[in-house]
Amino acid sequence: MKDDIVLQDMKDIYGRNIEWDQFRDKTVLVTGPNGMLASYVMYLLIFLNEEKHFNIHVIAMARSAERFVARFGECGNARYITLVTDPIHGPIHIDGEVDYIIHAASLASPQYYDVCPVDVLSPNVIGTYYLLRLAAKKKAKGFLMFSTGDVYGALRGVEYVTEKDMGIVDPLDIHSCYSESKRMAETMCRSFMHQFGVPVRMLRIWHTYAPTMDIDKDPRVFASFMKNIVNGQDIEIKSDGTGKRTFCYAADAIAGLFTVLTKGKDGEAYNVCNTDQFVSVRQLAEMLAALRQDVEIKVAWKQRPADEHYTENTAIGAIAPSNEKLKGLGWEPKYSILEGFRRVLEYQMQR
């Protein structure tokens, strides 16, 4: 791993108040390792092995070996990494022990909801089921599932979205393929804990961003804005810009992930978000435009094409999530929007 933004983030995460020794000489299985956040999980496990000599056996379950090699380069060929390209929508066979499972495989981008909803829900429902069966068989010490703030649905009458709140999701809305399948995944996790004693914990992840995000293919607003900034183009907003989001930098999110895995309570879900960084889309655009000092970037409005795939979650758009439950485990976010996206810009400009 080169001495760049990612390595700096790994050092930052390792310096947090987390009981890292739990992972020494253990086997950790990660699904969806090519994804934005899951890749940071992989980089952290690589860091623990290369820099701290933890002797972790990493099993990476990825659909594409080519993408895995492109993402991790020489690090992906390390002797302690086993790459498995078998699908997770059937029985999973892994030789030897599996101590921890981090299930991150998912098609989380709204661009897929209208196009291939079955592909969206499959890893969340079928994949979660077979991974939980594997965890039960292997008597895993921990099972962590990447869930989403979308599970809350449409909420009214609350100041902050806590883990005890739950709104309405229409199961017949095609966009619900993601949120409803994540709800089912959480129910399965709790059921496997109740019936088979699997030590499950769930992360309800809100808007997060990382230096390694794919700004060319990710249609979410923050990725699109960053693409404009990197290319020195004006930022285009395809809404009225009033919808609000929380934005959490990857280093904070991954620190939260490992905090839950090491200190969380079995069967519980935790919001992973930076409540203090709750801004409108327009505010975000203006803040990011100011990051480039060498070119003038303006914020403009443009009508959204009728055929453009887009979904709006009312809970995310109107009410800030609470991170008090995660803070109760000793976690604290460190990065503001400006600090985090400045790191993203520096990384992207070096590509």
Among 270, 279, 101, which residue's Cα sits nearest to residue 199? 101
Say what the pLDDT of residue 320 is.
94
Q: For 213-262, what is each residue's pLDDT tens digit?
A: 999 988 888 999 999 999 999 998 887 788 899 999 999 999 999 999 99
Say what the pLDDT of residue 220 is.
86
Say what the pLDDT of residue 315 is.
46
Q: Which helix (H) or strand (E) covers residue 321, if one does?
A: strand 320-321
- With a cut of 50, list the residues of the chain below it in pLDDT: 309-315
Tokens encoding 153: 């649905």
- Write out the residue range of the structural domain in which residue 19 sits: 5-349
Length, in residues, of the chain = 351
Number of structural domains, the chain?
Answer: 1
Q: For 88-141, what is each residue's pLDDT tens digit?
A: 999 999 999 999 999 999 998 888 899 999 999 999 999 999 999 999 999 999
- Give DSSP secondary structure letters for 51-108: TT----EEEEE-S-HHHHHHHHGGGGG-TTEEEE---SSS-----S---EEEE-----
- Does residue 235 contact residue 297 with C-beta atoms inside 8 Å? yes
What is the model's pTM? 0.94
Strands (E), 200-346: 200-205, 208-209, 235-237, 244-246, 248-249, 269-272, 278-280, 299-301, 320-321
- Does residue 209 contact residue 39 with C-beta atoms inside 8 Å? no
**Residue 304, strand partner residues:** none
HSE at residue 297, side-chain half, CA atoms within 13 A, is 23
| CATH number of the CATH domain containing 159 | 3.40.50.720
HSE at residue 351, side-chain half, CA atoms within 13 A, is 16
